Amino acid sequence: MPVRLVDLETAGTHGLTGYLFCASGEFCCRRDQVRWIIGRPGDRYVYFSKIEAIIAYAHERDRPYALEVCQRLLSEALPVLVAEYFPDSADLKRE
């Protein structure tokens, strides 16, 4: 799954944000990809969602652990989102 990572730092606190998009059932990590997917002709309905995990950590040496937590959080959340919240592809094609 393509995930974009952003490192944040504010007043001595570090953060790691991992995010990706789901656009009409396709996963991508760039906004321009989302625009291309939802701009395609064909389906009557489209959707997109940004899914992100934000992990704060105190020291730079903790970044590998923060990355592991971010990956685990996204890997646990994505199947639930797909199965229970995002529409089926058949629903997007309804007239």
Structural domain of 29: 4-93
**In a 3-state reduction of DSSP, which class is residue 49?**
strand
Query: Could you read off the pLDDT of 14-67 as tens digits, one per residue?
Result: 999 999 999 999 999 999 999 999 998 887 889 999 999 999 999 889 999 999
pLDDT exceeds cutoff 90 at 91: no
Distance CA 53, CA 29 (A): 13
User: Where residue 80 falls among pLDDT bands split at 50, 70, 90?
Assistant: very high
pLDDT exceeds cutoff 80 at 85: yes
pLDDT score recorded for residue 44: 82
CA-nearest of 22, 35, 28 to 80 is 22
Average pLDDT score over residue span 57-82: 94
Neighbouring residues of 32: CB distance < 8 A, sequence distance ≥ 6: none
Question: Number of structural domains, the chain?
Answer: 1
pTM for the full model? 0.86
For β-strands 13-23 and 48-57, DSSP reports them as antiparallel
